[in-house]
Structure 1
Amino acid sequence: MATCRAVPVNDLLDRASQRSDTLHSLSRLLTHTLDSHFPPIGRVIMPRPHMCHTSSLQTPNDKDQTLRVSESDLLSLARSLLQAWTDPLVLLSTAAGSLPHPAQSTISSKLQELQEHSRNLGDGLDILSSKLGPSAEFVSPPPFRGGNDLGQDRISRLVNFHFLLSCFRRDSHKIDSFLKVLRCRAAATRPEVC
C-alpha cells in the first residue's frame, strides 16, 4: 500500500483504466454467454435499465456531459458505482453455482474473476482518491435492496441474474469511461479525443 502511494497519479490512472477495461470486458463476455441460452420469454419479462439499483445515482449521460465533470467528481462517481456493486456481485457469484444454464461453470468462474478485479480496482481507486483530495474521497453508493434470492423457478432465476449482470455491464462501462477521461486529463491529452 505504501509503495502504491509513491506511484505517480498518471501511472495509477493507467493501471485503474486497464483494470476497469478488463472489468467491463468480463461483464460483456458474461452477458454474451448468458444470451447464448436465454429463453425468449426472458426478454419479454426482463426489467428495464431504469430499474437498476444504481439508476438513482446522478451520472453523466454521454461523453459531452462527462467532459464537463471535474476530476474529483468523476473519481467519486466511479468509486460510488463500484462500491454499489459489492453486495450484488456477491449475490451473482453465489447464485452462479446453481444457475440453470449450460455454461454455469464458466459463468461461475468468470464471476469470481470479476469480483477479484472489482476489489483490486476499488483498492486502486481508494489510493487515487487520497491523492486527489477530500472531494474525490466522497462516495455515495446507492443501497442494493435486491435481497439475497434471485427467484424460485428456473426462468425467474435466469431473468433476474441476467438483469443484474446487465446493470453491472452498464455501470462498468460508465466506470471505464470516467477513468479513461481522467487518464487523458492527467496525461494532458485532449479528453475529447480519448
Structure 2
Amino acid sequence: MMTFFKWHFIVQRGAWAVLLWPFLFTKCIPLDCQDCPSISQEKLLDRVIQHAELIYRVSEESCTLFEEMFVPFPLRLQRNQAGYACITKALPIPSSKSEIQQISDQWLLQSVLLLVQSWIEPLVYLQTTLDRYDDAPELLLNKTKWLSGKLLSLEQGVLVLITKVLNEGMVSTSYTEQAIFQYDMQLDMLESIIKDYTLFNCFKKDAHKIETFLKLLKCRQTDKYNCA
C-alpha cells in the first residue's frame, strides 16, 4: 500500500507539472514568423518540422489524458474496433502511400495547410467544451490551449514556406471550412464525451499526418530517390 508520504510526493510532483508545463517547451522550438521571411527555406522547413513534431507529441498526451479521465472503457473499445469519422475526411488530402509518393512538393504543403487550417476552429471548440466537465484537470486545459496557439504559429510558418517553395508573394489564407465543423453546445454529457474524444483522436491522427508530410518534403530535398 502506498504510504502517505509517497502519495503526498506524487501529488506535489503532479501539481508542479501542471504549474510548470506551459514553460517547458518555450525555448525548445521557436517559430516566430516575424523572422520567417528572412531565413532560408531549409532552416524554415526544419523549424516547421520541429514545431509539427511537438504538436503531435502534445496531441498524443492530451488524447491519452482525456481518455483516462473521462472515457468509459467500452467507448475505448468501440474506437479501436470501428473508429469514428474525422472532420477532415472529406478534404482532398492524399491518404494512401502511393498517392503521397506521387504528389508534388507544392501539393504536399497545400495538404499540410488544409489540415492545419481545418483544425483551428475545432481546437477552439474543445477549449470551450472542456469547461463543461467537472474536475477537468488544469493540465488538459493548458495543453489544449497550447495546441490551439501553436497551430496558429504553424499555419503562419507553412504559409511563408509555401511562398519560398513557389517563389511567389504571400499566399492568401482564403480557405474556409465550409461547414466542415459545426458547434453544438446542447449535447448531453455522454454525447459530448464521444464528440470530444473523437476530436482528440482525429486531431492526433492528422497531426501525425502533418508531421509525416513535412518530413517527406524534407527527405525529397536531401535524398530525392530514397524517400519512402
Length-normalised TM-score, structure 2: 0.73
1:40 maps onto 2:73 in alignment:
yes
Cα contact 1:59–1:77 (8 A) shared by 2: yes
Structure 1 residues 96-107: aligned runs within 5 Å: 96-100=130-134, 102-107=135-140
Residue 116 of structure 2: aligned partner: 82
Cα contact 2:88–2:180 (8 A) shared by 1: no
CA distance in 2, matches of 1:111, 1:175: 18
1:45 positional shift: 6.8
How far does the alpha carbon of each residue in 1:4-39 deviate from its partner, in whole angstroms, 9 at most, with x for none? 212111111100000001111111111111221311
1:167 to 184, 191, 202: 202
Counterpart amino acid of residue 91 in structure 1? Y
Give the share of equivalent positions with the same residue, in percent: 25
1:94 positional shift: 1.3
Secondary structure, in 3 states, of the residue corresponding to 2:61?
helix
1:103 positional shift: 4.7
CA distance in 1, matches of 2:180, 2:89: 13
The verdict on how the C-alpha distance between 1:74 and 1:163 changes in structure 2, with shifts beyond 3 A counting, is: same
Secondary structure, in 3 states, of the residue corresponding to 1:143?
coil
Cα contact 2:130–2:136 (8 A) shared by 1: no
CA distance in 2, matches of 1:143, 1:24: 25
Of structures 1 and 2, the one scoring higher in RCO (CA 8 A, sep 6+) is 1
How far does the alpha carbon of each residue in 1:71-97 deviate from its partner, in whole angstroms, 9 at most, with x for none? 000000000110011111110111122
2:187 to 140, 145, 152: 152
Alignment RMSD (CA, Å):
2.6
1:181 positional shift: 0.7
Asked which structure has the greater CA Rg, the reply is 2
Structure 2 runs not aligned, ≥5 long: 1-32
The verdict on how the C-alpha distance between 1:121 and 1:178 changes in structure 2, with shifts beyond 3 A counting, is: same
Length-normalised TM-score, structure 1: 0.85
How far does the alpha carbon of each residue in 1:96-118 deviate from its partner, in whole angstroms, 9 at most, with x for none? 22224x55322111001101210
